[in-house]
């Protein structure tokens, strides 16, 4: 069995905007203004959030590794990760040409850029992928999420699609969201909005529903 998913509404929005021709710097600032990103957007761009979600999915398939065993492709060069946040934001425009080239290359091949988690029992990875225009992942827009399951029994995929941001959080002691054992679990929309507002981050999260493709 294999699970593949686009599980970050933040990165989904960013790549949709970049794919439509918007400069990377403008797309990221728009995501920040809408409250889609963490206070430091590099937490989203690092791929760590998607990696944590992928690890949860991996557990369902029997993956025995830990977070450090997940292969992660970050979306910004390492030099920018080490910058102080104000300097990183000031230099965002330096990444525009790099991202424009990646988007143009995908477009020339009739493909679309998506950040995907790929999960099997033996391997978990998260990376940027140029998916074919006919793939349902290409049809995602903005903060839409989607997870595809491929089973041995049927050899086909069933896909669950969620609209807007759907987040898996790791509860801690006293947060009112779990047992405090460090186990990640789905967090409700209301709880996520409340926690983001408590941290001074605006909302931007809507209810989710499922669709079979």
Q: Which residues are catalytic?
A: 53
* 3-state class (DSSP) for residue 4: strand
Which of 132, 154, 158, 147 minimizes the C-alpha distance to 53?
147
Q: Closest Cα to residue 114, out of 27, 5, 3?
A: 5
Question: Angle between the 9-19 and 24-33 helix axes, to the nearest 10 degrees?
Answer: 140
Measured CA to CA, the distance from residue 105 to residue 139 in angstroms comes to 18
Give the helix, strand, coil percentages of the chain, each rounded to 5: 40, 20, 40
């Amino acid at each position: 069995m294999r699970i593949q998913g686009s599980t970050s509404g933040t990165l989904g929005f960013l790549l949709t905007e970049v794919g439509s021709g918007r400069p990377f710097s403008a797309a990221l600032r728009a995501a920040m203004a809408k409250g889609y990103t963490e206070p430091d957007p590099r937490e989203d761009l690092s791929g760590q959030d998607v990696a944590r979600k992928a690890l949860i999915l991996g557990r369902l398939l029997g993956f025995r590794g830990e977070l450090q065993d997940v292969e992660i492709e970050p979306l910004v060069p390492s030099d920018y990760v080490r910058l102080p946040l104000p300097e990183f934001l000031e230099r965002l425009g330096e990444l525009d040409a790099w991202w424009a080239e990646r988007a143009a290359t995908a477009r020339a091949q009739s493909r679309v850029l998506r950040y995907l988690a790929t999960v099997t029992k033996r391997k978990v990875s998260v990376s940027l992928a140029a998916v074919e225009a006919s793939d349902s992942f290409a049809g995602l827009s903005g903060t839409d999420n989607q997870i595809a399951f491929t089973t041995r029994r049927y050899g086909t995929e069933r896909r669950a699609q969620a609209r807007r941001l759907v987040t898996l959080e790791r509860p801690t002691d006293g947060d009112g969201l779990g047992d405090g054992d460090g186990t990640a679990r789905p967090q409700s929309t209301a709880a996520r909005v409340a926690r983001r507002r408590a941290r001074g981050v605006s909302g931007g999260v809507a209810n989710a529903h499922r669709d079979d493709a």
